[in-house]
């Protein structure tokens, strides 16, 4: 049985935690039309991991710090370019992947760095499990506490600002939560794959949900199923878990799109 092995029990536990926080963050990201921010931050996280290995510091800590800087830079560039968020994200994404490429040449332990490219959810240590659990609790607490404000900002940021919501403050808090989520997810599912788990469950759920609350719940349930099934398939067919989960997410998104279009035409 699959649960006879300790490493698989750890993988399912971590997968369950990630399926809670990734869609929670992803819902706001998608509704604000900033889906590519996941790519920018994951590339930055990869650069942080590479820098961590080079300077012999914790890759997770360095990647988190760089993700925060990158998120703030996106905001600064966005304002200087008159709210052209797509350009700001592209600039940071290019810088992140460029730095990762350059710094990777100075890493002696290539296998350790490669684990962050596509993730290594089945080789999580005790310390990392504790860290992921703590971050999950923190992110969920933040999302729940800022539920109304984030919802308002996601649908009508200008209206939220006029009504008295401190948009810059909540943006910074959300940036911190996103940076935490992306940096820790890069270690488990992989920096090159984390965006799929942030965006795809939400994108699929948008076609099914009828309210903001149901969108979040559906996204979490869908992400949970994708992670559980993806891990199971990866185990029995000796596949990379992160890549398997990402492909499964794309397949489900495509199937739901086809089914919804068929029924909407009737």
Residue 110 has pLDDT above 80, yes or no: no
Domain with residue 126: its CATH number is 1.10.3470.10
* % pLDDT > 70, the chain: 95
d(CA 239, CA 229) in angstroms, rounded, equals 12
Whole-model pTM: value is: 0.86
What pLDDT score does 85 carry?
Answer: 63
At residue 215 the predicted structure's pLDDT band, cuts being 50, 70 and 90, is very high
> What is the model's pLDDT at position 195?
82
> Given a cut of 80, is residue 112 above it in pLDDT?
no
Residue 248 has pLDDT above 70, yes or no: yes
Is the pLDDT confidence value at 81 over 70? no
pLDDT at 47 over 80: yes
Say what the pLDDT of residue 82 is. Answer: 63
Looking at per-residue pLDDT, the higher value among 66 and 89 belongs to: 66
In angstroms and rounded to an integer, the radius of gyration of the C-alpha atoms of the chain is 18
**pLDDT at residue number 83:** 60
Residue 255, classified by CB atoms within 10 Å of its CB into exposed (0-12), middle (13-18) or buried (19+), is exposed
* Mean model confidence pLDDT for the chain: 84
Q: Whole domain around residue 10: which residue ranges?
A: 2-264
User: Structurally, how many domains does the chain consist of?
Assistant: 1
pLDDT, average across residues 230-259 = 91
Highest mean pLDDT out of 25-39, 135-149, 155-169: 135-149
Sign of CA dihedral 208, 211, 212, 214: negative
Which of the four pLDDT bands, split at 50, 70 and 90, describes residue 137? Answer: very high
C-alpha distance from residue 216 to each of 46, 172, 235, 260 (Å): 28, 21, 28, 19
């Amino acid at each position: 049985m699959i649960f006879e092995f300790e490493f698989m029990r750890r993988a399912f536990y971590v997968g369950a935690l990630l399926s809670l926080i990734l869609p929670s963050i992803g819902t706001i990201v998608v509704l604000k039309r900033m889906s590519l921010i996941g790519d920018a931050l994951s590339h930055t996280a990869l650069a942080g991991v590479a820098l961590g290995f080079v300077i012999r510091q914790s890759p997770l800590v360095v990647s988190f710090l760089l993700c925060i800087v990158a998120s703030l830079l996106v905001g600064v560039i966005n304002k200087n370019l008159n709210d052209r968020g797509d350009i700001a994200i592209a600039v940071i994404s290019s810088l992140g992947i460029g730095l990762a490429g350059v710094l990777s040449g100075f890493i002696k332990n290539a296998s350790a760095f490669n684990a962050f490219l596509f993730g290594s959810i089945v080789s999580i240590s005790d310390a990392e499990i504790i860290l992921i659990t703590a971050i999950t609790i923190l992110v969920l607490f933040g999302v729940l506490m800022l539920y109304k404000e984030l919802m308002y900002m996601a649908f009508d940021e200008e209206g939220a600002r006029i009504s008295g919501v401190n948009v810059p403050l909540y943006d910074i808090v959300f940036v911190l939560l996103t940076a935490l989520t992306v940096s820790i997810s890069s270690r488990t599912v992989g920096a090159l794959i984390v965006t799929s788990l942030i965006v795809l469950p939400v994108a699929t759920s948008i076609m099914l949900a009828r309210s903001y609350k149901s969108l979040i719940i559906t996204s979490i349930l869908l992400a949970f199923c994708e992670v559980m099934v993806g891990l199971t398939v990866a185990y029995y067919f000796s596949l990379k878990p992160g890549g398997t989960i990402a492909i499964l997410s794309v397949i489900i998104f495509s199937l739901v799109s086809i089914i919804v279009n068929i029924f909407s035409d009737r």
